[in-house]
Chains A and B, each alone.
Chain A
Amino acid sequence: MTALLDVEGLTAGYGAAPVLHEVSLTVQPGQIVAVLGANGAGKSTLLRTLSGLLPAQQGRILFDGKDLSGIKVERMVHHGIAHVPEGRGVVTELTVDENLRLGGLWRKPQPPLEPIYELFPRLAERKSHLGHQLSGGERQMLALGRALVAQPRLLLLDEPSLGLAPKITAHIMALLRDLRDRTGLAVLLVEQNVRSALSIADEGVVLSLGRIVTRHDAATLVDDADLRHAYLGF
């Protein structure tokens, strides 16, 4: 089976000093891959490079067999890649409904928003609220819902648990797994919250100082005490 996302030898960063060094990884269709690692390991940089916000200095990004280098950021959604950035990226000056519509504007005809409102009933209740009136959990639901409007094949999710109560994090994780099971959505999940990420991931990739230091089944990473101590610190 060809991988949905196939990254080879990716080097990227800001200015002369690269943050990522020859990172290679694959994501299969319907697979949830967790990218773990300490602050500053390069996790967000990896996602920003994959979605084109940051140019790759070296290496190759294949999506569904197509080379994505040189493709504009605004074209990525057309290929089926949705990136929910860290801090969630809700446009706080727009309403919930406008934020959601924004997610599907590029599609002709525009996709209906009802499925998203069914998935997140809380958002339906707050349709006409402005983004800055939402709680952290609601913003995460909105950012996630907005990414899903476009029916992507790969979701790049940056720290969805950041600043959220454990209960809300668990809800969002369960929802991701459910989505994957129902739609075959693949997820590259960047998380500091190792336990909740591995609770739904198929595979875990550990990034340290911009290099991939290990890659294992999520179950192995959780169960093997030596691996856990060495790479995840718990």
Chain B
Amino acid sequence: MDRFLFLTFDGLSRGAVYAAFALALVLIWRATRIVNFAQGAMAVATAYVAYSVADATGSYWLGFIVALVAGLLLGAGVERVVMRFVDHSSPLNGVVVALGLVLIIQGVLGMIYGNEFRPATAPFSRDAFDIGGVALLSRYDLFVFAAVGAVVVLLTLLFTRTSTGLRMRAAAFAPDVSRLLGVPVGGMLTLGWALAAAVGSLAGMLVLPTELGLHPTAMDIVFISAFTAAVVGGLDSPIGSVLGGLMVGLLLSYISGYLGATVAPMAVLALLVVVLLSRPDGLFARSKARTA
């Protein structure tokens, strides 16, 4: 029972990170109908910058903030310089361009920082402390929950309570009509990419210390898990992506715990295939699928 509880909390902690990363994918998908396959590489790039700053200044938190700001800038830059010029007549175009970005970013990171693992330190202890005799949660897990929770709450407030959020939703759902109503749709797209990339960077900063560390390809497996989470939740549903992230986190934790860590990546892919075959709109999608 203790083991089950431990695996549950561990899964929720990992799942929270997948949730944030999946949320970032959903933000961009809703606005542009592009699955941003470059999101993992973009997050790693900003994490490299963050740890460079942290090493130079001795302050993890300065690096952490730099990661988020770098995410904003990188996201805006990718939209302005690359994605804006992608021909949307075929959905494949955006995918191919995003995959090209992965190769470029990973290549450049390899040239600058080298293709070996570098340590990514955590700002809090990752040792679980006792609650009633059972070691379930570490301070770092609490930090992860708080950070992801804050992002979910802030994004919800942004989209439901502010004029900018209303503009962003309208621009995503009906770009031409929004333009006629005076919404600067291009600017909203840039903002959407910037926010999504910053959330991706946050997820990267949270997950890298729990993995092998910094490496140009360090987020590849995380990307697959988060992408699965987004598909499980329905790519159009922000709430679905959060629930999907937690589900995938739990599933991976139970499978690694009971069947062995080597089975886990296969389990993710199996889940992805099953969901795509049975409920391609996701488990939480509304009954009517959007045509886009």
Contact = CB atoms under 8 A, between A and B. Distances in A.
Interface of A: 51, 53, 72-78, 82-83, 85, 89, 91-94, 98, 101-103, 105-106, 110, 146, 150
Contacts of A82: 180
A105 B180 contact: no
Given A89-B174, A91-B173, A73 B166 contact: no
Contacts of A110: 163
Contacts of A53: 176, 179-180
B274 to A, nearest CB: 28
A102 B180 contact: no
Nearest to B164: A105
Interface stretch (B133-141, B182-190, B250-258): B182-190
A89 B169 CA distance: 14
The dominant DSSP class at the B interface is helix
A73 B180 contact: yes
B121 interface: no
Contacts of B56: none
A53 B179 CA distance: 9
A103 B167 CA distance: 10
B180 A89 contact: yes
Contact of A93 (B169, B179, B184): B169
Contacts of B179: 53, 72-74
A53 B185 CA distance: 13
Interface of B: 163, 166-167, 169-170, 173-174, 176-185
Contacts of B183: 74, 102, 105-106
A187 B76 CA distance: 40
A89 B182 contact: no
Nearest to A92: B173
B180 A101 contact: no
Given A92-B173, A146-B181, 20 more contacts: A73-B176, A73-B179, A74-B178, A74-B180, A74-B185, A75-B182, A77-B180, A85-B177, A89-B174, A91-B174, A93-B173, A94-B166, A94-B173, A98-B166, A102-B170, A102-B178, A102-B181, A105-B182, A105-B183, A106-B183
B176 A85 contact: yes
Contacts of A94: 166, 169-170, 173
Nearest to B236: A93
B26 to A, nearest CB: 14
A204 B230 CA distance: 53
Nearest to B184: A74
A103 B170 contact: no
A166 B166 CA distance: 34
Nearest to B179: A73
Contacts of A106: 181-183
8 contacts: A53-B179, A73-B176, A74-B178, A74-B179, A75-B182, A89-B180, A102-B181, A150-B181
A78 B181 CA distance: 9
A102 B183 CA distance: 8
Between B166, B169, B179, the greatest number of chain A beta carbons within 10 A of the residue's beta carbon is seen for B179
Contacts of B185: 74
Contacts of B177: 85, 89, 91
A76 B170 CA distance: 17
Contacts of B173: 91-94
A102 B163 CA distance: 8
Contacts of B169: 93-94, 98
Contacts of B170: 91, 94, 98, 102
B157 to A, nearest CB: 15
Nearest to B290: A93
